[in-house]
Structure 1
Amino acid sequence: MKPNEHYMDYTGSSVYCQSQIEQVFEELRGAMFGNPHSANPSSSMTGDRVEEVRDLVLRYFNADPAEYQVVFTRSATGALKLVGETFPWSRASTFAYLRENHNSVLGMREYALEAGGAFKAVNETFVEHWAQLEGESGPIYNLFAFPAEDNFAGACVKYPLRWIQQVKAKSTDAAQWRVLVDAAAYVPTQPLDLREVAPDFVALSFYKMFGYPTGLGALIVRVDAAEILKKLFWGGGAVSLATSSADFHVLKCRPADKLEDGTVNFLDIVSLKHGFGMIEKLGGIRAIQAHVASLTEYLYERMSNLRHSNGKPMLQIFGKHHFANSRQVQGGILNFEVLRPDGSVFSYKTFEREAAGAGFHVRTGAECNPGACYNYLGVTEKEVESLAGKKEGCHDDVEFITWVEVPLGSVRASLGYMSTWEDAYALVNFIEGNYKDRSK
């Protein structure tokens, strides 16, 4: 980055380091890689390297290779889409999910609806009660999805991973509940141990962990859960036998093989080991966790105490920062609105533009998490629906429900392994220096 710039969008994408990229290209210069579907020397070597990385991913998350497999996808969204399109939905199925999920989880409901099933958006209180109830009956498969950490405020975050076992315990011989965890916002700064918790599906993105490569994610899937997935489309690499004139094909047996269509992104896959290696050089994920938690606590303490001259707060901060156990329930995100001296909300788009001019890399809008965003901001679903045809996305000109002046987004500053105390100081000073007592 340029001098005096402050990157604070780690939930959007992490940042790669120079040594990591140098190691990637050193490996590419030192070996000939080929399509792993062949058996020639370059192909065989490439296939071996890909399998080594699969094993590395499992070890990193302490997953038993007898119980879990790694399926490479184009992104965390690709992993979620894969589950959505292959899950055995039926007319009796229910897709239950926490409201504070990313749009990519919400989009999975279309597959349930297409099969005649139902969906149910629930809050944290409902899940706590519902998980204790007896299981349902009937020959059905159901799915419950929640984020290990939501990407909007880092709040309502680190949802109890005990939910995984509680929901799965609702299963009966005739009706099964499977659990999907969206870990994309969680694993860049938090440890996930798949021997302690046992979700059926985990979706993640590698560039959110260590910046490079982009366009590569993974679905970590339990072997017994992979067995219930029903694949429709199949491509090269996923089948062991097929004919062109008859409707005949045989999918490969291993979940990782039959769920990956075509040639995997092998050059990017082999580069992952250098990202994981960089994490270890920094002391491991627990060192990153402690660093980010300390910065987050400092930022919240400073930002929550910013005041206009009339004594009113300059910011409204969302999340669970104020909880006594904030390190257990709050991630490395400061999501906030800038307030005028009269308490009204300052334009988040104006803030983004001015912050960018001062060298700050933050994100504004709903952060692809309408459930969390509109809940915090007090926007109703009817009000959102009224904007159909008017609002195109986070960066259009619609930022308020004009008749009530309720904002449709906020400012998100998110921290990561490369965040510094200087970044934190600079953000606080920028806000105080530019927005104290400012009305326009």
Structure 2
Amino acid sequence: MGNSHSHSSRKPSHAGLDLHHAHATPVLHRKRSAALSALTLGLSSYHPQELSFREDSSSSSVSDRDEKRSFDPPPVYALSTTPDIPENAALLAYKAFLKEYPQYQLTWILDALRRTDFARLDRNGEAYVDYMGGSLYPESLIQVHASFLQRSILGNTHSVSNSSRLSAACADEARRAVLEFFRAPPGYTVVFTANASGALKLVGESFPFAAGSTYVLGADSHNSVHGIRQFATARGAQVAYIESTDEGGMDVAEAKAVLRQHRPRTGGRASSASAPSLFALTGQSNISNAKNPLSLIQYATSQGFCTLLDAAALAPTSVISLTDTPVDAMAVSFYKMFGFPTGVGALVAKESFLASLERPWFAGGTVDVVQAPGGIVTMAADMHERFEDGTINYLNLPAITDGLRFLSAYLPFLPLRLSSLTRHLITSLSELRHDSTDTPVVQILSRRPTKDVKTIGEQSDTGSVVSLLFLSPSGQMLPNSFVEYAASTHNVSLRTGCMCNPGGAAALLGLRGAMAQLPADATLRAFEACMGRELGVVRLSLGLASDFRDVWRLVEFAKLLGCERARTALWDKWLEDRTGVAL
């Protein structure tokens, strides 16, 4: 039930993927090495040492190796299909890129995926670089799900009809898929929510904060993590921040010091029991590109904290094992992982942790018996049901199962691929100069990767986010709204602003002092007026479908803003469109 997807839904042209069955694996219609043939949906079967890049030891010439390497036919995926990008320039740039990052070719399976499930990017000539905002959905996942819905009858799970039982079976299958994907040991369950923010709110509103409790979090965190402090302070708890470094993230030694300073009391003369305290860790910043070490989870646990991991930015491109990092609760959004569906996230949590939470209300689906009128309430027997208010998104849950199995096949390749692309993007942008003054075109603010990932399955030390400012020839910041306008006219999908991460943005922009002085009635407009400029950054983020062409198009776009004539024309058009708007 829930995994009998029709074989007829698969189209022959999508040779890079077979998702017509819930137990499907990628089907590759080209010759593969013995190591690559070990590809399965379980990441534990990977042996990265077998896939590390090695120079060809054959008698072929150096030029032959540069042209061909390990697969046939030669790579053509760097060639642009859009009229405004000359193919010869893209190809020359790609060859130079491969000489610097030859291990990139080990990820050719993602190029096959780009030509099938994400071909619409090149048909439209679009450089999509907002994966941190939302991943792009693979076309085959939509086809599989649509086919399943067309032939199935699904009903509300709060019933016992055949259609309802099918929905319930699909929901159970999706829960198992989530637990398997994150390698959760026994004792974990999955609560489906609207998104990661909904998952974080469930913990915040239900955690038994009290006088003597402390909520510890990093300054470089999403607003949904900051928002939990409202629940903490309302119950008399203290809030303690771990300051961000200049490049985002947190210093491990400082984080441990804050945790030690605020660790829960463990009894003694003053108290017979400790007040529950919570530590929320951002796995990866959505603006600074910093990855925080998950070992802090174990350290916080040793200090007596309950632990919460915001993995919304981390999960799409990094392996997370709840066996290795047994956090009490973790929040994710599935659209950030594989693009579809939106409106579904999850709180993956220990049942023992959920049992300690105190929900402030009950709703349909969360209860077994309600006395009305009266005050008796008996909560649902299954722990996850106590936290799923109303009817879950049962029509979309089968797509979660297929999406996770899809991502499992490609996730091991992403750190190597995205690390190479991110490092090349940062280097290329940093080298750009204005043609009129020879001053830098951009200022990179986010954390730069330092680890040279060379093997399949190896994890990177940062994400694949580049936060920056575009500069005028005089060195002043170009308004982000202008950059966003210019990008849209050149089919570049990026994002500007503070990314719902005020602490991370303040650290990158050097505004921590100004942030500390904000008045209680502060508004963004007033803050920007005080600073004399727009606040925020330009964020470029790579993901599942990213390839060299996207980076090349980004660099070509940045070159335009370094060209006096092109930038002036864009600026005049932007001003014309903003007539009457105060700059």
TM-score, normalised via structure 2 length: 0.69
In the alignment, which residue of structure 2 is the partner of 1:120?
240
In the alignment, which residue of structure 2 is the partner of 1:394?
none
Residue in structure 1 matching 2:419, options 293, 306, 310: 293
Cα 1:272–1:345 change in 2 (3 A) is same
Q: Is the 8 A contact 1:49 1:270 kept in 2?
A: yes
In the alignment, which residue of structure 1 is the partner of 2:394?
266
In the alignment, which residue of structure 2 is the partner of 1:174?
none
**Counterpart residue identity of residue 291, structure 1:** R
Q: Does 1:104 align with 2:224?
A: yes
Write out per-residue CA displacement over residues 115-170 of structure 1, whole angstroms, 9 at most, x where no aligned residue. Answer: 1112122122320433466944152011111211011131xx22010000001100
Query: Counting helix residues as a fraction of each chain, which structure ranks higher?
Result: 2
Residue in structure 2 matching 1:209, options 330, 333, 337: 337
Q: Is the 8 A contact 2:256 2:299 kept in 1?
A: no
Aligned-partner Cα distance in 2 for 1:338–1:267 = 43
Aligned-partner Cα distance in 1 for 2:452–2:238 = 36
Cα 1:375–1:407 change in 2 (3 A) is farther
Q: Is the 8 A contact 1:158 1:328 kept in 2?
A: no
**Counterpart residue identity of residue 183, structure 1:** A
Cα 1:163–1:268 change in 2 (3 A) is same
**Counterpart residue identity of residue 411, structure 1:** V
In the alignment, which residue of structure 2 is the partner of 1:146?
281
Write out per-residue CA displacement over residues 7-55 of structure 1, whole angstroms, 9 at most, x where no aligned residue. Answer: 1111001111211100001111121111112111111121111101100
3-state SS of the aligned residue for 2:395? helix
Which has the higher mean CA deviation after the structures are superposed, 296-305 or 103-112?
296-305
Cα 1:236–1:403 change in 2 (3 A) is closer
Aligned-partner Cα distance in 2 for 1:207–1:149 = 17
Show the 5 A alignment for 1:187-198: 187-198=315-326
Cα 1:134–1:352 change in 2 (3 A) is closer
Write out per-residue CA displacement over residues 302-334 of structure 1, whole angstroms, 9 at most, x where no aligned residue. Answer: 112222354432211122215357964321111
In the alignment, which residue of structure 2 is the partner of 1:81?
201
Write out per-residue CA displacement over residues 202-222 of structure 1, whole angstroms, 9 at most, x where no aligned residue. Answer: 000011111111111000011
Write out per-residue CA displacement over residues 40-85 of structure 1, whole angstroms, 9 at most, x where no aligned residue. Answer: 1111121111101100000001001x22110000110100110010
Q: Is the 8 A contact 1:98 1:146 kept in 2?
A: yes
Which has the higher mean CA deviation after the structures are superposed, 180-189 or 232-241?
232-241
Q: Is the 8 A contact 1:374 1:408 kept in 2?
A: no
In the alignment, which residue of structure 2 is the partner of 1:317?
444
Q: Is the 8 A contact 1:159 1:329 kept in 2?
A: no
In the alignment, which residue of structure 1 is the partner of 2:507?
375
3-state SS of the aligned residue for 1:368? coil
Q: Is the 8 A contact 1:97 1:146 kept in 2?
A: yes
Write out per-residue CA displacement over residues 147-194 of structure 1, whole angstroms, 9 at most, x where no aligned residue. Answer: 11011131xx220100000011001xxxxx111111001111111111
3-state SS of the aligned residue for 1:267? coil
Q: Is the 8 A contact 2:281 2:297 kept in 1?
A: no
Q: Is the 8 A contact 1:319 1:330 kept in 2?
A: no
Residue in structure 1 matching 2:327, options 194, 199, 202: 199
Q: Is the 8 A contact 2:419 2:452 kept in 1?
A: no
Query: Counting strand residues as a fraction of each chain, which structure ranks higher?
Result: 1
Deviation at 1:297, TM superposition (A): 1.5
Cα 1:57–1:403 change in 2 (3 A) is closer
3-state SS of the aligned residue for 2:197? helix
3-state SS of the aligned residue for 2:144? helix
**Counterpart residue identity of residue 223, structure 2:** N
**Counterpart residue identity of residue 88, structure 1:** P
Q: Does 1:161 align with 2:319?
A: no
Q: Where does structure 1 lack aligned partners over 5 or more consecutive residues?
A: 172-176, 392-397
Deviation at 1:245, TM superposition (A): 1.8
Write out per-residue CA displacement over residues 243-274 of structure 1, whole angstroms, 9 at most, x where no aligned residue. Answer: 11220011123221111121211111122122
3-state SS of the aligned residue for 1:92? coil
**Counterpart residue identity of residue 315, structure 1:** V
Aligned-partner Cα distance in 2 for 1:212–1:201 = 23
Cα 1:215–1:165 change in 2 (3 A) is same
Show the 5 A alignment for 1:207-246: 207-246=335-374
Deviation at 1:277, TM superposition (A): 3.1
Structure with greater Cα Rg: 2
Aligned-partner Cα distance in 2 for 1:206–1:260 = 17
**Counterpart residue identity of residue 508, structure 2:** Y
Aligned-partner Cα distance in 1 for 2:303–2:390 = 37
Cα 1:133–1:388 change in 2 (3 A) is closer
Deviation at 1:383, TM superposition (A): 5.7
Provide the aligned C-alpha RMSD in A: 2.1
Cα 1:256–1:121 change in 2 (3 A) is same
Deviation at 1:401, TM superposition (A): 3.4
3-state SS of the aligned residue for 1:312? coil
3-state SS of the aligned residue for 2:399? helix
Cα 1:130–1:345 change in 2 (3 A) is same
Q: Is the 8 A contact 1:132 1:166 kept in 2?
A: no
Aligned-partner Cα distance in 1 for 2:211–2:262 = 21
Q: Does 1:338 align with 2:464?
A: no
**Counterpart residue identity of residue 165, structure 1:** Q
3-state SS of the aligned residue for 1:79? helix
In the alignment, which residue of structure 1 is the partner of 2:172?
51
Residue in structure 2 matching 1:419, options 540, 546, 558: 546
Write out per-residue CA displacement over residues 226-250 of structure 1, whole angstroms, 9 at most, x where no aligned residue. Answer: 1210012111221112211220011
**Counterpart residue identity of residue 172, structure 2:** E
Show the 5 A alignment for 1:12-91: 12-64=133-185, 66-91=186-211
Which has the higher mean CA deviation after the structures are superposed, 123-132 or 230-239?
123-132
Cα 1:234–1:275 change in 2 (3 A) is same
Cα 1:113–1:37 change in 2 (3 A) is same
3-state SS of the aligned residue for 1:141? coil
TM-score, normalised via structure 1 length: 0.91
